[in-house]
A and B are shown apart, each in its own frame.
Chain A
Amino acid sequence: MAKFKGAIVVDTEKCKGCGLCVVACPTKVIELARDVNGKGYHYAHMANADACIGCSSCGLVCPDTVITVYRVKAS
């Protein structure tokens, strides 16, 4: 059981769907959406929210700084 629980918020309109966050995520939380945003990009989203530990890896590698990360101690 992870010590932390996390969640991310993606600014989906600004996301360019590069997929670097998908690779960076150690717990395979993120996937690119089947839908596209206004610019036609398959934006990143939490496909497996339960697994998020709020480690910020996705945020760190995101070139467009569209990911905000939250974290709480697991109860």
Chain B
Amino acid sequence: MTATTEINKIISKENLVYNKTSVLLDNEMHYCPGCTHGVIHKVIAEVIDEMGIQDKTIGVSPVGCSVLAYNYIDIDWQQAAHGRAPALATATSRLMPEKYVFTYQGDGDLASIGCAEIIHACNRGENIVVFFVNNAIYGMTGGQMAPTTLEGQVTATTPYGRDCKVTGFPMKITEMIAMLPGTRFVTRQSAETPGAVRKLKKAAQKAFENTRENKGLSFIEIVGTCSSGWKLSPVKSNEWMKENMFPYYPLGTLKDE
């Protein structure tokens, strides 16, 4: 038996162990090669599929690279003004308490312009899930400084490196949110290895289960990469993230009540 025929024998329906969930649409993603958004979208779609909640889930997309998230996950979506996703989700969840409502926001959207909305939605303990993607840079607008940009990090608006004396310090928004009594589950995850993706998926599952049990707000930060903004290859970006982001933004669950 030749190698090719052996492979062809393996490639058959009954041996399938991993494929794209049907909740993820076939539209080609506009993200750059290696972008963490793609992995997070996939994880969310898989959880929605496995929990059987496609017809009960409403996503709120932000302004930023993931503004077009509604082109990829096959659910009803609302597209929010910059930073306002938690306000949309608040009303949606209160007016339809039986639904699963989540926001999907980047670091500029959530931690900068939308700081008030996220803090207050968390403080009210809205029964929603928040996915917060932190790659320490503005992607869509071309690599400017984000609130989470690390000290010394070069961006389009900190071309000589972020000087904390001038621009303040990288914001640990997840730690702030964990302090608010309205939040139930606050965790920081990543998605660069198979193990990390599995952990992220478990966290997402738990978050949506919290919604089902009306437990209040679940907040998942995902430390991710932006190879275009960082001007590194996708593989090098993961290395840079582990070396520089993880020490400042340590992975793990901050709160689980």
The answer to A–B direct touch (Cβ < 8 A) is yes
Residues of chain A touching chain B, judged by Cβ–Cβ distance below 8 Å, are 5-7, 9, 14, 16-20, 22-24, 41, 46, 49-50, 54-57, 59-65, 67-72
Residue among B12, B42, B194 with the most chain A CB within 10 A? B194
Bound Cα distance from A54 to B3, whole angstroms: 16
Contact with A along B190-219 (1 / 0, CB 8 A): 011110011000000000000000000000
Give chain A residues whose Cβ lies under 8 Å from the Cβ of B234: 18-20
* B20–A19 CB distance below 8 A: no
Bound Cα distance from A41 to B28, whole angstroms: 14
Bound Cα distance from A41 to B11, whole angstroms: 25
Q: Nearest chain A CB to B39's CB is how many angstroms away?
A: 5
Give chain B residues whose Cβ lies under 8 Å from the Cβ of A46: 7
Q: How many of chain B's residues touch chain A, expressed as a range?
A: 35 or more
Give chain A residues whose Cβ lies under 8 Å from the Cβ of B38: 62-65
The reply to whether the CB of B115 lies closer than 8 angstroms to some CB of chain A is no
Bound Cα distance from A50 to B20, whole angstroms: 24
* B17–A24 CB distance below 8 A: no
Give chain B residues whose Cβ lies under 8 Å from the Cβ of A63: 29, 31, 33-39, 42
The reply to whether the CB of B24 lies closer than 8 angstroms to some CB of chain A is yes
Cβ-neighbour of A56 out of B11, B18, B33 (below 8 A): B18
User: Which 9 pairs show the lowest CB-CB distances between chains A and B?
Assistant: A63-B38, A18-B34, A16-B33, A69-B18, A18-B33, A56-B18, A57-B194, A18-B234, A59-B18
Q: Nearest chain B CB to A22's CB is how many angstroms away?
A: 8
Cβ-neighbour of A24 out of B10, B12, B16, B194 (below 8 A): B194
Cβ-neighbour of A70 out of B11, B33, B35, B198 (below 8 A): B11
Of chain B, the residue at the smallest CB distance from A11 is B20
* B33–A5 CB distance below 8 A: no
Bound Cα distance from A56 to B46, whole angstroms: 15
Cβ-neighbour of A61 out of B15, B37, B39 (below 8 A): B39
Give chain B residues whose Cβ lies under 8 Å from the Cβ of A7: 7, 10-11
Chain B 204-257 interface residues, beta-carbon cutoff 8 Å to A: 227, 233-235, 238
Cβ-neighbour of B19 out of A24, A49, A57, A68 (below 8 A): A68
Q: Can you name 6 A-B residue pairings with CB atoms under 8 Å? A: A5-B6, A24-B194, A63-B31, A63-B34, A63-B37, A67-B18
